[in-house]
Amino acid sequence: MIQRLIISLIHIITNTFFRRIDVIGEENIPPDGPVIFAGNHPNALMDGWLLTARCGRWPVHFMANAKLWKYRLLGRMLNASGAVAVYRREEHDGDVDNSGAFDKLYEVIEAGDCMGIFPEGVSHTESQLSKLKTGTARIALSVAARGKVKVTIIPCELNYIHRHRFRSQVSIEFGEPIRIDDEWLADFAEDERDTVRQLTEHLADSMMAVTLNAPDWSTLRFVQAARRLYKPATANLSPGEYIELNRRFVEGYLSKKTEPEMLALRNNVDDYQTRLDALGLKDYQLRASVSVSKAFRRLMMRSISLMLLLPIAIPGVLLHLPVGWVAAYVGERFSYEQDDIATLKVFAAIVVLPLLYLLAAFLIGNHFGLAWAIIAVVGLTISFSASIWVIEAQATLLASMVSILRQTRLRAEIENLQARRLKLVEQVRQLVDRFADPGVPRLFSSQDFATTGVIQSDE
């Protein structure tokens, strides 16, 4: 019962914090039997919550740093969710005893349940996968060697867009399963240490296959800008195809980064992106030349929709904005690293929001009775959903208005950038044609590229 409440809470948290969650590769997850989910770890506890909410299996038990149990509320939640406390050797001068933790892990897996493990060991903000610890491979092989169950490892990737920003986006990709079969077990029986190392390397390769790995954030920024220029304006891609295209661009750039043409492209793209940033523009705003009159008509329609919903949203906005401020302050003020900001924001909201609802229910119930208190709480919940939509709509509206003003005030600069964009589109596509592996199927056809980089719109 408690676990079902926790999974419901995790669904609410993830669906509220993120505006969009894309899941790729669900077909790779076995519908039953023990599974070890092995994922990258860029966003602290949020990674575990997302895997729990979207892997389609329950329960999912996670290994967690034992120091988290020092926080009473967090410790109780971890216990209720079935988390297993593990002591890190580097935090205790190598003097630790995790035998009890491993016994618990074996018990969970042999019961046919799922484990979630982050083989990198710690959450981090690097632009590429860190070196994997051997624990995941050792656990999988050791449990399978006991002969009670067959074990499957599912490599997975979490790719965040603005990881700690409320109402941002995230994608989760589940890769090809690694089954601990008789061949692995025979090798393990012959040489445990070498087999653990080999399986760890195999797992690292499998995780690399579903993870974007760039040597630094500036390279990843360049690659994504080049991918945007390459993609035909009229082509629609699935979330999985977007990730695959990003991955191909990263691999292609890294393999040819010393070529003179590639160096020239990076300089040109970086300069183009810098000019966009200086003008406060986005690349997609240069894809289409939209008339000011048409843009204003769109703004009017959005404004009318906003005004209709505003009366419902006002109570939610007034009540929940302080919660947002508190969560933002806690996330920024008490974060030790960038990877735990989202987690701290969520915990602050979990603490403050129920207190605020209880206070509102008490005040209303004290004056008007219990029935009105219940109605008020339900109404505030509905208003909260409406307030999220209104805040997002206001942000979009403001961005659209600023974009229109810039298009009218900076027309000459924008036309110059659009001309540069056309040349960059051609440059990127020529290099892709030159360097791409001919044996890899293309994501776009020649018809997709028939449209120019800037689309002219009707007046």
Is 60 exceeded by the pLDDT of residue 214? yes
Residue 456 binned pLDDT confidence (cut-offs 50, 70, 90): very low
Whether 14 maps to a domain, the answer reads yes
State the pLDDT at residue 216. Answer: 83
Whether 373 maps to a domain, the answer reads no
Whether 340 maps to a domain, the answer reads no
Q: What is the pLDDT of residues 150-159, one digit of tens each?
A: 999 999 999 8
State the pLDDT at residue 349. Answer: 82
Q: What is the pLDDT of residues 29-75, one digit of tens each?
A: 999 999 999 999 888 888 988 999 999 888 888 887 777 787 777 77
Higher pLDDT, 79 or 365: 365
Whether 226 maps to a domain, the answer reads no
Q: Is the pTM of this model over 0.75?
A: yes
How high does pLDDT run on average in the chain? 82
Q: Are strands 152-161 and 168-174 parallel, antiparallel or unpaired?
A: antiparallel
Handedness of CA 199, 205, 209, 210 (dihedral sign): positive
Q: Could you give the 3-state DSSP secondary structure of residue 114?
A: strand
Higher pLDDT, 78 or 195: 195
Cα 35 to Cα 105: distance, rounded to the nearest angstrom: 12
Is 50 exceeded by the pLDDT of residue 320? yes
**How many CB atoms are closer than 10 A to CB 360?**
17
State the pLDDT at residue 229. Answer: 92
Q: What is the pLDDT of residues 80-123, one digit of tens each?
A: 777 888 877 766 666 777 777 888 888 889 999 999 999 987 77
- Sequence letter at residue 394: Q
Whether 190 maps to a domain, the answer reads yes
Whether 255 maps to a domain, the answer reads no
Cα 342 to Cα 48: distance, rounded to the nearest angstrom: 12
Cα 79 to Cα 455: distance, rounded to the nearest angstrom: 56
Is 60 exceeded by the pLDDT of residue 454? no
* Mean pLDDT for the stretch of residues 230-247: 84
Q: Could you give the 3-state DSSP secondary structure of residue 23?
A: strand
Cα 142 to Cα 106: distance, rounded to the nearest angstrom: 8
Residue 338 binned pLDDT confidence (cut-offs 50, 70, 90): low
Cα 272 to Cα 275: distance, rounded to the nearest angstrom: 5
**How many CB atoms are closer than 10 A to CB 405?**
11
Residue 403 binned pLDDT confidence (cut-offs 50, 70, 90): low
| Six-digit token string for 67 | 């120091």
The CATH code of the domain that includes 172 is 3.40.1130.10
How many domains, in total, are found in the chain?
1
Half-sphere exposure (CA, 13 Å, Cβ side) for 241? 9
> Which H/E stretch holds residue 85?
strand 84-86
* Backbone conformation region of residue 306, classed left if phi is above 0, alpha if psi is from -120 to 50, else beta: alpha
Cβ atoms of 332 and 341 within 8 Å: the answer is yes
The boundaries of the domain holding residue 117 are 2-209
State the pLDDT at residue 194. Answer: 96
Whether 394 maps to a domain, the answer reads no
Cα 325 to Cα 78: distance, rounded to the nearest angstrom: 26
**How many CB atoms are closer than 10 A to CB 191?**
11
* Mean pLDDT for the stretch of residues 229-246: 85
